[in-house]
A and B are shown apart, each in its own frame.
Chain A
Amino acid sequence: MKYLDEYRDGATARTYAQEIARITTRPWSIMEVCGGQTHSIVKYGIDTLLPAGIALIHGPGCPVCVTPVDLIDKAILIASRPSVIFCSFGDMLRVPSNGDDLLAAKARGSDVRILYSPTDAVQLAVSNPGREVVFFAIGFETTAPATAMAVWQAAQLGLKNFSLLVSHVLAPPAMEALLSSPDCRVQAFLAAGHVCAVTGSEIYEAMAKRFHVPVVVTGFEPLDILQGVLMCVRQLESGQAKVENQYTRAVRAAGNIHAQDLMRRVFQVAPQTWRGLGEIPQSGLALRPGFEAFDAQKKFGLSSVHTCEPAECQSGLVLQGRIKPPECPAFRLGCTPEHPLGAPMVSSEGACAAYFRYRSLA
Chain B
Amino acid sequence: MKILVVDDEKDVQVLFEQRFRKEIKNKEMEFAFAYSGEEALKYLNELHEAVLILSDINMPGMSGLELLRHIKEKHHEPPPLVMMITAYGDAENYNTAMKLGADDFLTKPLEFSLLKEKLKAIP
* Chain A bound to chain B: no
B interface list, Cβ under 8 A from A: none
A interface list, Cβ under 8 A from B: none
